[in-house]
């Protein structure tokens, strides 16, 4: 792993995007950082670099949203995430890097499609809140996709959209849920060799941008419409995901 100008040119904007999303927009763009880094790093290292930074962002976002979450929905998702994380850890240890480039690329493109469908109102929140059983399954899917590529947002979003939460309630619940899921992932990542001295050094360099991003996201949550921000992020994510799929298949 080489920490050079190219690394910082991709990593700094990716971490800022992730922090802004974590701080203000339901973690929707946080996943974008992983595909960006996977363009220049082995997928496992790209994921390993991002996890401690995401954990820092979680801590930065907990305070402004403290106790504004739906505790029941968060609990259901977190309990469901436990088997999802375990399955992700088991799967991650047996596949080669191109498999994960492909998976990260597919999840990236799928995430953009999901957001487009939701934005077009083709996917509508359920008229009644989804059951705890459905929430548990959504949590398991979030745990698995979060372990593979920090992309646990869509399954959790579908469940939370059915709850009729306010903008801030939705944001706070995602902050609490993914704070817990990211904690679950740390030790399996370390055991799989995804967190190294090099990734720790990169985390030290990038930590200020993680906290700056969260602070900007909290401010943006209160003041700025999210449409333009996410439009650009999803465009970059779509291009990056397609590039990773191409690299994996070729």
Indicate the helix (H) or strand (E) that contains 81.
helix 71-92
Domain count, the chain: 1
Work out whether the CA dihedral 107, 179, 117, 220 comes out positive or negative.
negative
Tokens representing residue 31 in the block: 């996943």
> What residue has token string 């949590």?
139
What is the spatial distance between Cα 189 and Cα 180, in angstroms, rounded to a whole number?
A: 15
* Cβ(80)–Cβ(179) below 8 Å: no
What is the spatial distance between Cα 250 and Cα 235, in angstroms, rounded to a whole number?
A: 23
Over residues 39-74, the pLDDT tens digits come to 888 888 888 999 999 999 888 888 888 888 899 999
Residues 6 or more apart whose CB falls under 8 angstroms from that of 229 comprise 20, 25, 29, 220
Over residues 176-187, the pLDDT tens digits come to 999 999 999 999
Over residues 134-179, the pLDDT tens digits come to 899 989 988 988 888 787 777 887 788 777 777 778 888 988 999 9
What is the spatial distance between Cα 240 and Cα 114, in angstroms, rounded to a whole number?
A: 16
What is the spatial distance between Cα 240 and Cα 199, in angstroms, rounded to a whole number?
A: 22
The residue ranking higher by pLDDT, 177 or 237, is 177
> What residue has token string 């994510």?
237
Residues in the chain: 250
122: helix, coil or strand?
coil
Q: Average per-residue pLDDT in the chain?
A: 82
Record the pTM: 0.77
Judging by beta carbons within 10 Å of its beta carbon (0-12, 13-18, 19+), is residue 239 exposed, middle or buried? middle
Which range of residues forms the domain containing residue 143? 5-249
Other CB atoms within a 10 A radius of the CB of residue 48 amount to 25
């Amino acid at each position: 792993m080489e920490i050079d100008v190219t690394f910082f040119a991709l990593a700094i904007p990716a971490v800022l995007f992730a922090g802004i999303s974590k701080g203000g927009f339901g973690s929707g763009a946080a996943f974008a950082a992983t595909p960006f880094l996977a363009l220049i790093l082995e997928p496992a290292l790209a994921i390993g670099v991002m996890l401690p930074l995401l954990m820092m962002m979680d801590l930065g976002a907990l305070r402004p949203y403290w106790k504004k979450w739906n505790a029941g929905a968060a609990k259901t998702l977190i309990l469901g995430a436990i088997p999802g994380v375990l399955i992700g850890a088991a799967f991650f240890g047996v596949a080669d890097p191109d498999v994960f480039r492909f998976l990260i690329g597919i999840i990236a493109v799928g995430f953009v499609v999901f957001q487009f469908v939701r934005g077009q109102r083709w996917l509508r929140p359920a008229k009644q809140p989804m059951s705890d059983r459905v929430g548990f399954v959504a949590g398991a899917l979030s745990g698995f996709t979060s372990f593979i590529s920090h992309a646990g947002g869509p399954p959790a979003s579908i469940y939370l959209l059915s709850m009729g939460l306010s903008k801030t309630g939705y944001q706070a619940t995602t902050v609490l849920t993914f704070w817990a899921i990211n904690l679950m992932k740390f030790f399996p990542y370390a055991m799989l060799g995804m967190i190294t001295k090099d990734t720790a050094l990169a985390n030290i360099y990038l930590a200020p941008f993680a906290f700056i991003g969260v602070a900007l996201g909290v401010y943006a949550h209160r003041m700025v419409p999210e449409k333009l921000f996410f439009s650009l992020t999803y465009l970059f994510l779509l291009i990056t995901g397609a590039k990773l799929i191409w690299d994996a298949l070729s």
